[in-house]
């Protein structure tokens, strides 16, 4: 790892509001196609109370190094694109305020346990295929749009059984924090397991047995050791650790 000399906004004649506070933003730069090692490049960035890590990265892109690879879209923790390791922990860059990190140096790196595409961008291919494998949709013979447009009525209590799990934005932070994902390349992962529970808990769904069969595998649900790190980092309150243990309850016969 090599650190390149820091760059500051003052060195460039760009019109950015003068700020009293600033931090050093250390960005991991790495292109696996052309390089063999990661480099860290330092930038001095001014910030305000509400400046997010993503804002700071975009200042770098605008003023110093437009080649920094970063994925983002909504900038409001809704699309799940901007997950990265911020000071050693996976978090959404658009949801992490610099002022809350209590550090003069902020290091941003690509999330662990995902292949790096470039710089801060990782590939979600495996996570999405695990998600897809667990049939993330309602399985039912009935249909709302046929048979006299019959409605599927659910009480608020029925909805609460799966609502929090449907908050998942597929950001991958949970898979990045999971200690099993760190060593088992075939583990389904907390993201997909939580989604399996989301549909199993929905009383419109009839696919419980199909999904339980898929996760009852040597690299499936039994690999979770309830370290809880997935729930700790989840930015949407999904609580994958809870979903996984409740799901396991069905396989162990504690739940029907």
Partner 1 sequence: MEKQTNREGIKGWLNPTRYGIERFAYWLMRLTGLGLLAYFVAHIIETSTIVDGKDAWDKMLELTQTTEGHIILALVIGMSVFHTVNGIRVMLGQGGIGVGKPGRPDYPYNKPASLNNKHKLCIYASIGLAALAMLYGLQVMFGV
Positions touching ligand FES (CB under 6 A) are 72-75, 77-82, 92, 94
Which residue lies nearer to ligand FES by CB, 4 or 79?
79
Q: Please check whether residue 193 is in contact with residue 247, taking contact to mean a CB–CB distance below 8 angstroms.
A: yes
Task: Return the number of other C-beta atoms located less than 10 Å from residue 20's C-beta.
Answer: 7
Q: Which two tokens stand for residue 138?
A: 């309602």
Residue 226 contacts partner 1 per CB under 8 A: yes
Task: Candidates 118, 170, 198, 223: give the one binding ligand SF4 (CB under 6 A).
Answer: 170
From the list ligand SF4, ligand FES, partner 1, none, partner contacted by residue 202 (C-beta under 5 to 8 A by kind): none
Task: Candidates 122, 134, 168, 188: give the one binding partner 1 (CB under 8 A).
Answer: 122
Residue with tokens 């929905």: 202
Q: Please, what is the minimum distance in Å from the beta carbon of residue 223 to ligand SF4?
A: 16
Q: Which two tokens stand for residue 37?
A: 């090692």
Which residue lies nearer to partner 1 by CB, 60 or 181?
181
From the list partner 1, ligand FES, ligand SF4, none, partner contacted by residue 72 (C-beta under 5 to 8 A by kind): ligand FES
From the list ligand FES, partner 1, ligand SF4, none, partner contacted by residue 92 (C-beta under 5 to 8 A by kind): ligand FES
The DSSP result for 63-100, as a single string, is HT-TT-----SSSSSSS---EEEETTEEEEGGG-BGGG
Which one-letter DSSP state was computed for residue 110?
P
Distance (Å, whole) CA 142 – CA 155: 18
Site string (174-193) toward partner 1, x via CB under 8 A? ---x-x-xxx-x--------
Q: Which two tokens stand for residue 200?
A: 């199993």
β-strand pairing of 39-46 with 2-8: parallel
Distance (Å, whole) CA 46 – CA 18: 8
Which residue lies nearer to ligand FES by CB, 59 or 215?
59
User: How far from the centroid of its chain's Cα atoms is residue 234's Cα?
Assistant: 7
From the list ligand FES, ligand SF4, partner 1, none, partner contacted by residue 108 (C-beta under 5 to 8 A by kind): none
Which residue lies nearer to ligand SF4 by CB, 207 or 240?
240
Task: Candidates 12, 14, 32, 48: give the one binding partner 1 (CB under 8 A).
Answer: 32
Residue 199 contacts partner 1 per CB under 8 A: no
Distance (Å, whole) CA 247 – CA 244: 5
Lateral strand order in the sheet of 39-46:
2-8, 39-46, 22-29, 105-109, 83-86, 89-92
Which one-letter DSSP state was computed for residue 33?
T
Only one of the segments 16-24, 52-60, 149-157, 171-179 lies at the binding site for ligand SF4 (rule: CB under 6 A); that segment is 171-179
Name the site residues for partner 1 (rule: CB under 8 A): 32, 88-89, 110-116, 122, 160-165, 167, 177, 179, 181-183, 185, 201, 224-229, 231-239, 241-243, 245-246, 248-249, 252, 254-255
């Amino acid at each position: 790892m090599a650190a390149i000399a820091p760059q500051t906004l003052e060195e460039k004649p760009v019109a950015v509001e003068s700020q009293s506070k600033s931090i050093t933003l250390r960005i991991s730069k790495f292109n696996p196609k052309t390089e063999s090692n990661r480099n860290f490049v330092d930038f001095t960035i001014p910030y305000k109370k509400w400046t997010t890590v993503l804002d700071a990265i975009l200042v770098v892109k605008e003023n110093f190094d437009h080649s920094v690879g970063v994925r983002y879209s909504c900038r409001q923790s809704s699309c799940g694109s901007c997950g990265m390791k911020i000071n050693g922990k996976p978090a959404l860059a658009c949801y992490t305020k610099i002022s809350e990190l209590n550090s003069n140096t902020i290091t941003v790196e690509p999330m662990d346990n995902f292949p790096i595409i470039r710089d801060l961008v990782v590939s979600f291919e495996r996570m999405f295929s695990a998600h897809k494998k667990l049939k993330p949709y309602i399985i039912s013979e009935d249909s709302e749009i046929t048979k006299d447009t019959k409605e599927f009525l659910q009480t608020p209590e029925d909805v609460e059984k799966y609502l929090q799990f449907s908050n998942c934005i597929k950001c991958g932070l949970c898979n990045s924090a999971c200690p099993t994902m760190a060593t088992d390349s075939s583990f389904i992962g907390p993201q997909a397991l939580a989604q399996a529970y989301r549909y199993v808990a929905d009383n419109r769904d009839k696919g419980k047995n199909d999904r339980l069969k898929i996760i009852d595998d040597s690299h499936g649900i039994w690999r979770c050791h309830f370290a809880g790190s997935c729930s700790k980092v989840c930015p949407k309150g999904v609580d994958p650790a809870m979903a996984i243990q409740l799901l396991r309850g069905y396989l162990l016969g504690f739940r029907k």
